């Protein structure tokens, strides 16, 4: 799966940008990265482009035997790329009052819609309720917002980086990320979630800030930073309740 979002609404962490990227191998523009994805999957891929600089791509190719599913679903102009398995899918379906045929991607969309429109719980608690192995990317075309998350077990690979125009690129295929973002990329941190307005946060330790750590590749060249939970800092803020807990309005004090 591949997602590309323009920097004006995705707001990627500045630490993803490698200061040594220029002159070694230049990042590609979003169109070139999307084209490379289709070339890698010539007969088993499709993509959707949106106004404002967003694109989602998906492949049905099975590269290896896995128990995890790859899904691409949309509802109410919200789109979700999902890779993985939710162990408690049945109980979550009952909790949200959905039909039994609901899959993991549609469940994530419904969870997002509930938080966006009513916000009864903090976003980190809702993501923490997803038990299993997963990586997902949500794009809300109406609001122009991005939400992505990776399960705490880190069993599914997920990477992100920056295209030549500063757009954030997210994919589970490291070759696509390396080829498109050059040195400006890093593994997406497990147990974390990224929102285009709220930034990067840990849903396991929501009261701790995310700390960027310098990252050097095997050639000794500086790359985009790794992000770790800073166990020595805690964010002191009054917990939100009611509709104020909407994940589209995180406090600045909660941002990394």
Question: What pLDDT score does 194 carry?
Answer: 93
Interval 182-240: pLDDT, tens? 888 999 999 999 998 888 988 887 676 766 666 666 555 566 677 777 766 555 544 54
Contacts of 120 (CB under 8 A, 6+ apart): 114, 242, 243, 245
Give the sign of the dihedral formed by CA 111, CA 172, CA 101, CA 48: positive
**What CATH number matches the domain at 2-59+67-254, 3.60.20.10, 3.40.1160.10, 3.20.20.80, 3.30.390.10?**
3.60.20.10
Give the pLDDT band of residue 62 (cuts 50, 70, 90): low
Question: For all residues of the chain together, what is the average pLDDT?
Answer: 83
Interval 148-178: pLDDT, tens? 999 999 899 999 999 999 999 999 999 999 9
Q: Do 151 and 190 meet the contact criterion of CB atoms below 8 Å apart?
A: yes
Distance CA 227, CA 212 (A): 4
Among 34-43, 145-154, 247-256, name the one with the lowest average pLDDT: 247-256
Q: Give pTM, 2 decimals.
A: 0.83
- Domain parsing of the chain, residue ranges: 2-59+67-254
């Amino acid at each position: 799966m591949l997602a590309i979002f323009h920097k004006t609404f995705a707001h990627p962490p500045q630490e993803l940008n490698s200061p040594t990227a220029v002159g070694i191998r230049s990042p590609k523009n979003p169109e070139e990265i999307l084209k490379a994805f289709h070339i890698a999957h010539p007969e088993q891929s499709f993509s959707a482009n949106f106004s404002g600089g967003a694109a989602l791509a998906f492949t049905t190719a099975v590269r290896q035997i896995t128990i995890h599913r790859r899904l691409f679903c949309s509802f109410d102009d919200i789109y979700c790329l999902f890779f993985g398995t939710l162990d408690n899918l049945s109980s979550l379906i009952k909790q949200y009052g959905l039909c039994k045929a609901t899959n993991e991607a549609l469940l994530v969309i419904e969870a997002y819609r509930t938080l966006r429109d009513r916000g009864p719980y903090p976003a980190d608690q809702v993501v923490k309720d997803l038990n299993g192995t997963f990586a997902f990317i949500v794009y809300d075309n109406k609001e122009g917002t991005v939400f992505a998350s990776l399960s705490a077990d880190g069993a599914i690979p997920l990477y992100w980086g920056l295209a030549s125009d500063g757009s954030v690129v997210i994919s589970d295929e490291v070759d696509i990320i390396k080829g498109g973002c050059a040195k400006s990329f890093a593994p997406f941190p497990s147990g974390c979630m990224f929102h285009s307005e709220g930034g990067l946060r840990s849903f396991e330790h929501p009261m701790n800030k995310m700390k960027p750590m310098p990252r050097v590749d095997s050639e000794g060249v500086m790359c985009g930073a790794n992000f770790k939970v800073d166990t020595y800092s805690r964010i002191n803020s009054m917990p939100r309740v009611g509709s104020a807990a909407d994940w589209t309005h995180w406090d600045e004090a909660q941002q990394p």
